[in-house]
Amino acid sequence: MINFKPLLPKYSEYVKYLKKIDKKRIYSNYGPYYFKTKKIIESYLKLKKRSVVLTSSGDASLFACFKYLKYINKKKYILTPSFSFPSDVHSIINSGFEPIFFDINIENWVASETEIIRIVKKNNNIAGILIVSPFGFPIDINNLNNLKLQTKVEIIYDAADTFLNLKNTDNINFFITASFHPTKNVPGNESGMIICNKSHEKLFKEILNFGQESKKKDVKIFGFNGKISEYDCAILLASLKKLSKIKKKIKFINRYIIKNVTNNIIIFQKDLGKNWFSNKVNFYSENFNPSKIKKIFLKKKIYIYKPWTGRPMHLHKFFKNYKKYDLKNTLFLTKRIFSLPINYDLQKKDIKKICKILNKLQ
């Protein structure tokens, strides 16, 4: 049986960090492993002008960014794709904003910049724009910089599972959030990060620490407890230590499936080039019913699923009354895609088995 459950570092790979935590008795509040992890990530991303702020989760990263937007302006709305995950919409609402749902491009499953610009021109009450990366697909940094210049609206790029594919992040004029959840490319234990200007780092750390000013402990902004613990840093450090191995194996699995699946199924990664990879191989088909495909795979004890929650955010009962624009691409796509989770310990014989099933679909 193929094991598709999330894979974290083994105890033996991070026990040395736990021993040091026991010795120092620093468990949270920006301890030594916080700064060690931050330094490694900033080095990997080649950050010099920008900083990384580590958080307790990808959700906490988003929430902190929207808290910041609420702090700097009094506008009402955040533009967000409906093709996303509940965390995005909850963070918007919990920060005191209202979402406006917009459509994606059918070609690459990401935000339609033309649509965003059109909406912003007609609505001067928009505080921010959320751009969501689908399944690790990297969105062009230069395009997002230009979008901010054209709209003059703050942008938050939810790069949730895009860590291994991020490039040119030292040139951003917006915010990037990412997740190190166990299901992500670089697995930690419910941890995340924000990439921001160095000038924003102090304020974000205060937002994540109940809004307290770092020295006087005065509460200067509405905050919450979004700090990463030293224990979470220990697990993340163990993953970062074998980053090249994870990257190499996931890349191999992606390339193998792209090369060997010859059925009439569009593989998302294949359709958009070979310069990125994900631990979720995403399939799109107008000819196959995803529910039927799922049953076929389950008979073989292979788990596949419909991405996100299986339906667009605007169709969830809790979000249905918020403003929305035409979402025909979102509706069309969500009925026709399915995803296959992969881990870097997946064996070649298992990958062959997956390809064989996909090629037999009718």
The per-residue pLDDT for range 56-91, each reduced to its tens digit, is 999 999 999 999 999 999 999 999 999 999 999 999
- Nearest 5 degrees, angle CA 262-CA 267-CA 269? 125
* pLDDT at residue 289 in the model: 77
The tens digit of pLDDT for each residue in 189-199 reads 999 999 999 99
Alpha helix (H) ranges present in the chain? 11-24, 32-44, 58-72, 86-94, 113-122, 141-151, 198-207, 230-241, 243-260, 268-271, 290-299, 328-334, 348-360
Q: Which H or E run contains 78?
A: strand 77-81
Note the CATH number of domain 11-241.
3.40.640.10
8 Å CB contact between 140 and 168? no
Four-CA torsion 242, 248, 249, 255, nearest 10 degrees: 160
Query: How many residues are listed for the chain in this entry?
Result: 362
CATH topology of domain 243-360: Aspartate Aminotransferase, domain 1 (3.90.1150)
Average pLDDT, the chain: 93
Q: Using CA atoms, how far apart are residues 130 and 176, in angstroms rounded to an integer? A: 10
* pLDDT at residue 13 in the model: 97
Candidates 101, 106, 126, 105; CA nearest to 114 is 105
Segments making up each domain of the chain, as ranges: 11-241, 243-360
* pLDDT at residue 274 in the model: 67
Crossing angle for the helix pair 11-24 and 230-241, to the nearest 10 degrees: 140
Which residues 6+ apart lie within 8 Å of 317 measured at CB? none
Which portions of the chain are predicted below pLDDT 70?
Answer: 1, 272-274, 362
Residue 42, CA distances (Å) to 26, 35, 51, 184 in order: 23, 10, 7, 19
Strand 98-102 to strand 323-324: parallel, antiparallel, or no bridges (unpaired)? Answer: parallel
* pLDDT at residue 273 in the model: 67
Residue 273 CB: number of other CB atoms within 10 A? Answer: 7
Residue 323, CA distances (Å) to 80, 118, 171, 214, 362 in order: 11, 15, 33, 38, 39
